[in-house]
């Protein structure tokens, strides 16, 4: 009994398991895992960027990334994918667990990351162009991140002067507590140290852990503009009564030199930057009668000027490339030569002062004695040049409202330069009118001589000369395209004129189109624009002929022979044996439309006079609604009685002047054949089996 009970229980358990598998939804879940950590070394410093790539189980689910016990990312997955970045939090150095948590499924994946110590040293410096001067105090800030917990680090700060002298001092940093961060600051010069030398000082933290630099100068600024006041401060001259201050250009030219008294070992001087100083670097040097310092007191300063954007523009206000400009600096009595770039812009550093401008285009003067000032800021200067633009329009001589597109134009112009000792120059530019019949060309000299040569299809139709353009934004030039007379005569295959035929002329380029109808003599006359055309002839909307025609001469004559017009068309209808079928109704159709009909005569022929081309021939015999034969044929030549179009109707036979179905005719013939065969058999039988006569 017990054994039976156990077996029943096992069977029930298996059945329940199978049933659960069947009714449970099948889910292909992604594994919660970290597949990649960047940097791949798994090491970094506080505030470094770390990237974690992985997957979670919940599609589009919420996930979190924990750095140790700190939550650093709380986002939603893209599908099952995780790709997140974060900054290393401010924690003590060491190995931390990196955890990716699927919040919905409450499943975690882990990795690791090590925080390394980071050392920082920073010197407080004034904002450029201000600079520190001799005798100044300098604040030095030191910090560590990723340090050990509850630790006081000691920093050894070393300063190396321009004379390679070194001064050091130790300073304890603040306790790192539980953040691993310690800070401190110190003022340089330390005891017995100084900032008496001009040059760059290097500051280091414990040798090589971190470093920074600062510059000590003679002047209060690193750069000056004209009329600025330079303030000089130098120390360490207690043994001197006076010193010499010298300012030179980078080429060694002496700009200024004078003696200044020393008070309590300090040289305090000022100098007004001269109006004639040009842009560049200069040196200032302090020298004494005896050697006072291990490093010469020499410093470089700059006169940078202001960024000035110059835009030469034509009279239409458009920037002009390749304009050569002479900028004369009145204060420095110096001239700068510049040229506008392909965008029509010049960028030049110019100092405070007054300037004169002369501009040349193609070495012809287009601006003369224009003045401007530079004061205390960068600016954009727009200069108007005596250059006009051309708006060229080609119109029909027959109707000025019709504009001619795609006209090829060669513009020749001649001028004399103001530079290069007045040379005569000839130049050419080629272009084409657009779809509206206009062509716009930019920036041309007012006093040049111009000649326009206009052509279509390689044939010149107009040459126009002009000069002394108006000093305005646009000079409008109109070119007339002449008309040409075309005589068209339309005849048929036999040379007879075709009356009321539609003659169409369509120009190869553009949209020019002309139409006319022929008179009773087959003539049509056109007055068209100079050019090449496609000539087409129609009758009853049927294309009879086409050809190209050139209208370059004053008068052109064309004779168009239309071989398809009024063609003799004969249709012969025959039966199964090729016998003509009379009284058959023949219809001709074009594009599904009936155009004519006729009845065949005794010879089985129906004749027509029609326009050729692709025609459908239908033959009606007994049923006027249902054709017995249909054929489509292209007719490009006459088909008269000697060469008719043959339509064979195999379903009928002419027998005894009667139209008979071929099947019926075959039955009759078969019956007749059987009758004849029977008769022959009977005759033969009687001949061979005739009884012999009995003798009496």
Report which of 615, 616, 635 is spatially closest to residue 627, judged by C-alpha positions.
Answer: 616
**pLDDT at res. 408:** 97
**pLDDT at res. 19:** 43
**pLDDT at res. 6:** 46
Residue 331's domain is classified under what CATH number?
Answer: 2.60.40.1120
Is residue 296 in a domain? yes
Please give the average per-residue pLDDT across 178-204, as a whole number.
Answer: 97
Question: Which of 87, 115, 143 delimits the end of a domain?
Answer: 115
Q: Give me the domain span that covers residue 643.
A: 567-660
CA-to-CA dists, residue 21 to 10, 11, 25, 535, angstroms: 17, 16, 8, 84
**pLDDT at res. 281:** 98
The count of C-alpha atoms lying within 13 angstroms of the C-alpha of 503, restricted to the half-sphere facing its C-beta, is: 28
Same domain, 46 and 68: yes
- Assign 4 a pLDDT band (cuts: 50, 70, 90): low
pLDDT of residue 106 exceeding 80: yes
**pLDDT at res. 669:** 82
pLDDT of residue 207 exceeding 50: yes
Sign of the torsion formed by the C-alpha atoms of 307, 313, 318 and 324? negative
Same domain, 603 and 573: yes
Phi-psi region of 146 (alpha: psi -120 to 50; beta: other; left: phi over 0): left
**pLDDT at res. 657:** 74
Strand 107-115 to strand 94-102: parallel, antiparallel, or no bridges (unpaired)? Answer: antiparallel
Same domain, 107 and 128: no
Same domain, 350 and 395: no
**202 φ, ψ (degrees, to nearest 5):** -110, 130
Same domain, 364 and 454: no
Instruction: Residue 373: count other Cβ atoms within 10 Å of its Cβ.
Output: 11
Q: C-alpha 452: how far from its chain's center?
A: 34
What DSSP character marks residue 2?
H
Same domain, 366 and 452: no
Residues 6+ apart with CB under 8 A from 72: 65, 66, 86, 87, 89
**pLDDT at res. 13:** 55
Is residue 253 in a domain? yes
Please give the average per-residue pLDDT across 54-67, as a whole number.
Answer: 97
Report which of 548, 566, 565 is spatially closest to residue 556, judged by C-alpha positions.
Answer: 548
Same domain, 272 and 298: yes
Residues 6+ apart with CB under 8 A from 455: 407, 408, 409, 410, 461
The pair of three-digit structure tokens given for residue 503, joined into one six-digit string: 């003659």
- Separation CA 30–CA 603 (nearest Å): 92
**pLDDT at res. 628:** 87
Please give the average per-residue pLDDT across 631-642, as a whole number.
Answer: 90
Is residue 643 in a domain? yes
- Assign 23 a pLDDT band (cuts: 50, 70, 90): very low
Residue 61's domain is classified under what CATH number?
Answer: 2.60.40.10
Is residue 353 in a domain? yes
Please give the average per-residue pLDDT across 305-330, as a whole number.
Answer: 97
Residues 6+ apart with CB under 8 A from 561: 491, 492, 493, 495, 545
Helices (H), 199-264: none
Same domain, 464 and 553: no
Contact 610, 594 (CB under 8 A): no
Mean pLDDT, the chain, as a whole number?
A: 92
- Separation CA 579–CA 604 (nearest Å): 8
The pair of three-digit structure tokens given for residue 100, joined into one six-digit string: 């990716």
Gyration radius from the chain CA atoms = 54
- Separation CA 334–CA 98 (nearest Å): 68
**pLDDT at res. 325:** 97
The pair of three-digit structure tokens given for residue 221, joined into one six-digit string: 């600024």
- Assign 526 a pLDDT band (cuts: 50, 70, 90): very high
CA-to-CA dists, residue 414 to 110, 441, 445, 468, angstroms: 83, 16, 10, 12
Residues 6+ apart with CB under 8 A from 117: 45, 93, 144, 145, 146, 147, 180
Place of tokens 């489509």: 632
Is residue 357 in a domain? yes
Same domain, 582 and 604: yes
Question: Which of 284, 303, 322 delimits the end of a domain?
Answer: 303
- Three state DSSP letters for 435-460: CCCEEEEEEEECCCEEEEEEEECCEE
pLDDT by residue (tens digit) across 223-281? 999 999 999 999 999 989 999 999 999 999 999 999 999 999 999 999 999 999 999 99
**pLDDT at res. 684:** 87
Please give the average per-residue pLDDT across 463-470, as a whole number.
Answer: 95
**78 φ, ψ (degrees, to nearest 5):** -95, 100
pLDDT of residue 8 exceeding 70: no
Total structural domains in the chain? 7
Question: Which of 546, 562, 578 delimits the end of a domain?
Answer: 562
Strand order in the sheet with 346-350: 346-350, 306-313, 379-384
pLDDT of residue 9 exceeding 80: no
**pLDDT at res. 11:** 59
- Assign 692 a pLDDT band (cuts: 50, 70, 90): low
- Separation CA 541–CA 367 (nearest Å): 65
- Separation CA 553–CA 530 (nearest Å): 8
Same domain, 295 and 317: no
């Amino acid at each position: 009994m017990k054994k039976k009970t156990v077996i029943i229980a096992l069977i029930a358990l298996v059945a329940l398991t199978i049933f659960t598998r069947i009714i449970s939804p099948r889910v292909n879940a992604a594994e919660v895992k970290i597949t990649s950590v960047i940097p791949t070394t798994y090491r970094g410093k506080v505030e470094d960027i770390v990237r974690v790539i992985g997957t979670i189980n919940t599609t589009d689910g919420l996930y979190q990334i924990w750095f140790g016990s700190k939550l650093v990312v709380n986002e939603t997955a893209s599908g099952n994918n995780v790709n997140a970045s974060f900054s290393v939090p401010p924690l003590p150095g060491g190995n931390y667990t990196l955890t990716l948590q699927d919040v919905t499924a409450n499943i975690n994946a882990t990795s690791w990351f090590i925080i390394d110590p980071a050392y920082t040293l920073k010197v407080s410096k004034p904002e450029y162009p201000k600079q520190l001067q001799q005798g100044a105090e300098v604040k030095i800030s030191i910090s560590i991140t990723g340090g050990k917990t509850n630790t006081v680090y000691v920093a050894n700060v070393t300063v190396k002067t321009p004379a390679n002298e070194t001064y050091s001092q130790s300073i304890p940093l603040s306790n790192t507590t539980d953040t691993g961060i310690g800070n401190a600051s110190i003022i340089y010069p330390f005891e017995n140290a100084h900032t008496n030398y001009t040059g760059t000082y290097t500051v280091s933290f414990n040798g090589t852990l971190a470093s920074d630099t600062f510059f000590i100068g003679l002047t209060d600024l690193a750069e000056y503009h004209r009329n600025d006041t330079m303030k000089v401060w130098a120390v360490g001259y207690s043994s001197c009564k006076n010193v010499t201050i010298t300012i030179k250009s980078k080429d060694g030219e002496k700009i200024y030199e004078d003696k200044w008294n020393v008070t309590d070992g300090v040289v305090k001087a000022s100098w007004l930057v001269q109006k004639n100083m040009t842009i560049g670097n200069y040196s200032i040097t302090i020298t004494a009668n005896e050697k006072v310092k291990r490093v010469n007191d020499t410093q470089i300063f700059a006169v940078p000027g202001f960024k000035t954007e110059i835009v030469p523009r034509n009279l239409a206000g458009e920037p002009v490339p390749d304009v050569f400009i002479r900028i004369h600096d009145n204060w420095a009595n110096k001239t700068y030569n510049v040229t506008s770039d392909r965008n029509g812009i010049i960028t030049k550093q110019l100092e405070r002062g007054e300037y004169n401008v002369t501009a040349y285009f193609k070495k012809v003067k287009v601006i003369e004695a224009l003045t401007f000032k530079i004061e205390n800021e960068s600016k954009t200067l727009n200069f108007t040049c005596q250059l006009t633009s051309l708006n060229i329009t080609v119109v029909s001589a027959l109707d000025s409202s019709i504009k001619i597109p795609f006209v090829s134009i060669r513009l020749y112009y001649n001028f004399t330069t103001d530079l290069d000792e007045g040379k005569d120059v000839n130049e050419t530019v080629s272009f084409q009118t657009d779809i509206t019949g206009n062509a716009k060309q930019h920036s041309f000299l007012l006093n040049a001589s111009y000649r326009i040569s206009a052509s279509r299809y390689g044939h010149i139709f107009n040459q126009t000369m002009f000069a002394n353009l108006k000093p305005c934004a646009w000079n409008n030039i109109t070119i007339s395209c002449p008309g040409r007379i075309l005589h068209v005569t339309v005849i048929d295959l036999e040379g007879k004129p075709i009356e009321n035929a539609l003659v169409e002329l369509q120009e190869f380029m553009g949209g020019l189109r002309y139409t006319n109808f022929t008179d009773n003599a087959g003539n049509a006359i056109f007055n068209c624009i100079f050019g090449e055309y496609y000539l087409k002839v129609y009758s009853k909307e049927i294309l009879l002929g086409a050809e190209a025609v050139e209208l370059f001469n004053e008068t052109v004559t064309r004779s168009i022979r239309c071989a398809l017009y009024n063609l003799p068309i004969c249709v012969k209808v025959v039966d199964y044996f090729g016998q003509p079928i009379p009284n058959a109704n023949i219809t001709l159709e074009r594009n599904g439309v009936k155009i004519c009909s006729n009845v065949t005569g005794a010879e089985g022929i129906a004749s027509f006079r029609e326009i050729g081309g692709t025609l459908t021939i239908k033959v009606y015999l007994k049923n006027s609604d249902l054709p017995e034969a249909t054929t489509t044929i292209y007719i490009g030549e006459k088909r008269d009685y000697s060469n008719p179009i043959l339509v064979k109707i195999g379903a009928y036979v002419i027998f005894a002047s009667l139209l008979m179905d071929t099947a019926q005719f075959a039955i009759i013939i078969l019956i007749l054949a059987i009758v004849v065969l029977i008769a022959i058999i009977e005759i033969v039988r009687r001949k061979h089996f005739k009884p012999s006569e009995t003798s009496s």
